[in-house]
Amino acid sequence: SATALDNPDHVAISIHNYRWRLGLAAGEPQYDELEKKLAAFPTIGVPTITIEGDANGAPHPEPAVYAKRFTGKYEHRLFTGGIGHNPPQEAPQPFAQAVIAADRL
């Protein structure tokens, strides 16, 4: 992922993303209808496994807060051992196991 940082647009794109998420910048107009649907927090009916690292410092709600949004088969997995905000790189084996398991829920 380090090569993604070697991009002259990286800083501008990253800052715009944060501004957009905070409502300080416009998004892509072609996605406005989809954004409206997502803003209504529709339920998710497909089998789902959510994951979290035990050392994730990013602000996020507790799994119990959003678990009710999943109407299909659902489980939450906490990856332990100092796993942070990037489980695919920090815990590739448990991450891959969760992806495979989601297909089998």
Q: Are residues 56 and 22 in the same domain?
A: no
Q: Is the pLDDT of residue 3 over 90?
A: no
Read out DSSP for 16-50? HHHHHHTTSS---GGGHHHHHHHHT---B-S-EEE
Q: Report the residue count for the chain.
A: 105
24 shares its domain with 62 = no
Residue 27 sits in the same domain as residue 51: no
Plot region of 8 (φ>0 → left; ψ -120 to 50 → alpha; else → beta)? alpha
CA 17, 30, 43, 70 dihedral sign is negative
pLDDT tens-digit series, residues 36-92: 999 999 999 999 999 999 999 888 899 999 999 999 999 999 999 999 999 999 999
Task: State the pLDDT at residue 5.
Answer: 81
Count the domains in the chain.
Answer: 2
Q: What domain range is 49 assigned to?
A: 43-105
59 and 10 assigned to the same domain: no
Q: 30 and 55: one domain? A: no
| Same domain membership, residue 25 and residue 55 | no
Q: pTM of the full predicted structure? A: 0.75
Same domain for 105 and 55, yes or no, is yes
**CA 55 to CA 79: how far, in whole Å?**
9
Judged against a pLDDT cut of 80, whether residue 4 lies above it is answered with no
Residue 51 β-bridge partners: 77
Together in a domain, 47 and 28 = no
Q: Are residues 27 and 53 in the same domain?
A: no
In this structure, the answer to whether residues 20 and 68 fall within a common structural domain is no
